[in-house]
Amino acid sequence: MTPTVPELLVGCATALSAQPNAEDAGLYTATRLRTVATLNVLIAQESAVGSAVRLWENSALRSLLGAGGKYGQEFADARSIGDGDCSLATLDEANARLRRLLIRLHEAVEAAGDQKLDREILALYRQMAERRELKLPAARPAT
Amino acid sequence: MTAAASGDGLGRRLEQYLSSLWDDDVRVANLARIPGGASRETYRFDAETRGGIRGLILRRDPVGSLIDTDRRVEFLAYQSFHGRVPVPEPVTLEEEGGPLQRPFFIMQRIDGGAPASPFGPSPYGEHSGAIGEALFTFLGRIACADPASLPLARCCAPPVPGACWSSALDEWEAIILRDERHPQPIVRAAMRRLRRNPPPPARRVSVVHGDYRSGNFLHDGNGKIIAILDWEMVHFGDPLEDLAWCCDPLWNHFDPSRVAGTISEEQAIAIWERESGLKVDAEALKWWKLFSAVKGQAIWTTAAKEFTVDNGNLALAISGFYPPRRHDRIMADALERLVEEGWR
């Protein structure tokens, strides 16, 4: 998993509050401050849409795993994995369980040569990745 | 800043070490840390000797790192390619690290240029054509160097041509399985697909820089590459590994029509083929491109894990947060496309 929002914010605070060595002044410190700024833009995106993205993904995973019920009862049972209190932490916990099941289902689908479900899984991967992608703040191009 | 003003005594330690190494009374001045790669602490400084001032770079092992690499291998890479392509001259290597607390090496400093930020738009402006020509010319030269004739051969054994792909995939897959904090179905699917659809044997076993891309070289702002840097992942293997990594969409500066923010992929391949004397197998390159995203994901997975240990290291934070999301997208798009093209 990529670092969580609390981990990243603590990291920024730790970096900014650390006593710098004299040789850190200049370019290194300037770069560190730019990195904090960039991280905060990315953290803002994750905070704004993180819950919605995870709720969507967990729902899509339950639905697809249900369609793979013929490969094992554990996949059909995925519908019972709930989203808890919908905090990022509980959504991630459910997401981890669902993703582990998806990995096993995909292996079974590939072994069976089930091209239809294979393509459905690949399409879901694309949608998952698309929704989780983060956008960097625009920088000025070189002239 | 003089060495005496340095915070943790690094400057004084450097003065003592270099004075002993060169049997001279060395003064260290202008010691400053620079953001030079996430796998080593990098410092620039001037060494004032009886013979004059030498501009130098210190690369010291960090406490936590993006990926564990061997500084001796990196040092030998600089020895191997100094004079063949623009790389700094290596000066000294200390593997025990006593003089500066952790292992390190020192190399010549090349002034007058800067690296591009890998995630900024159009970093080379009107000089992107010239930069692209140089970038893929130097990569072709690296690919055509005879591994057995290089200092690197003292520490690395080349794989047989048919094993280049599997040894590379084995290495990065093991890292993902070791460091993964959250299940990653996309990269797992990519790794299985790579094993089911192996590339042909390497046409030549070559030196692979390992991280050859936009952002890992200095350019002078006028279309000239003055130093190829960051050789810490160098190894022997299929030279298509470097070509594919350099063409990975993660490094395209948000312009899919150009690789590494420079020239079209067709132009890049033509330059590389001319310089290396090798013909690119299109099917093999497809394999190495998907592999590049897997390798990237392994690096970002390790960064995310290391960040939990070294929580103030922002290079690890951003490496573990932003690029893995893009590489998931790149991999997912590639998987759909390759299956459409007939991959099993």
- Element spanning B271, H or E: helix B265-276
pLDDT tens string for chain A (143 positions)? 789 999 999 999 999 998 888 888 888 889 899 999 999 999 999 999 999 999 999 999 999 999 999 999 999 999 999 999 999 999 999 999 999 999 999 999 999 999 999 999 999 999 999 999 999 876 665 54
The tokens for B291 are 């592999």
Nearest to B207 by CA among B146, B289, B291: B146
Name the residue facing A3 among B307, B328, B336 (closest C-beta).
Answer: B307
Residues 6+ apart with CB under 8 A from B303: B38, B66, B67, B315, B316, B319, B320
* Strand, coil or helix: B209: coil
Q: Which of A2, A28, A38 sits opposite B324 (nearest CB)?
A: A2
Distance CA A101, CA A94 (A): 11
Query: Using one digit for the tens of pLDDT, what is the confidence trace for A2-32?
Result: 899 999 999 999 999 988 888 888 888 898 9
Question: Domain residues of chain B, as ranges?
Answer: 3-108, 125-340
What is the complex's ipTM, to 2 decimals? Answer: 0.94
In Å, how far are A93, A128, B61, B217, B248 from A107, measured between CA atoms? 22, 18, 40, 41, 27
- Residue B69 has a pLDDT of 61
Please tell me the distance from the alpha carbon of residue B120 to that of residue B3, in angstroms, as a whole number.
35
Instruction: Give B112→chain A minimum CA distance, Å.
Output: 15
Nearest CA of chain B to the CA of A48: how many Å? 16
B104: nearest Cα among B119, B116, B92, B113: B92
List, as ranges, residues 56-115 from A with C-beta within 8 Å of B: 92, 95-96, 99-100, 102-103, 106-107, 110
Considering Cα of B212, then B172, then A132, then A108, what sign does the dihedral take? Answer: positive
Query: Quick check: B333 and A126 CB within 8 A?
Result: yes
Residues B32, A26: C-beta atoms closer than 8 Å: yes
- A12 lies within 8 A of chain B by CB: yes
Q: Do B311 and A1 touch (CB under 8 A)?
A: no
The CATH number of B125-340 is: 3.90.1200.10
Cβ separation A24–B7 shorter than 8 A: yes
**H-helix segments, A18-142:** 27-67, 73-76, 88-112, 115-132
Percentage of chain A beyond pLDDT 70 is 96
pLDDT per position in chain B (344 positions), as tens? 444 444 458 999 999 999 999 999 999 999 999 986 667 889 999 999 999 999 999 999 876 544 556 788 999 999 999 999 999 999 999 988 788 888 899 999 999 999 998 898 999 999 999 999 999 999 999 999 999 999 999 988 899 999 999 999 999 999 999 999 999 999 999 999 999 999 999 999 999 999 999 999 999 999 999 999 999 999 999 999 999 999 999 999 999 999 999 999 999 999 999 999 999 999 999 999 999 999 999 999 999 999 988 778 899 999 999 999 999 999 999 999 999 999 99
Domain boundaries defined on chain A: 5-132
What is the C-alpha separation between B130 and B223, in angstroms, rounded?
A: 5
Q: Which residues in B lie closer than 8 A to residue A23 (C-beta atoms)?
A: 1, 6-7, 10-11, 31-33, 43
Instruction: Identify the pLDDT of residue B223.
Output: 96
Q: pTM of this prediction?
A: 0.93
Q: Closest residue of B to A43, CA-based?
A: B321
E-assigned strand segments in B14-145: 27-34, 41-49, 52-60, 90-94, 104-108
Q: Which CATH architecture has domain B3-108?
A: 2-Layer Sandwich (3.30)
Q: How many Cα atoms sit within 13 Å of B103 on the Cβ side?
A: 14
Structure tokens belonging to residue B28: 């260290």
Residues of A with Cβ-Cβ distance to B320 under 8 angstroms: 2-3
Contacts with B123 from chain A: Cβ below 8 Å: 141-142
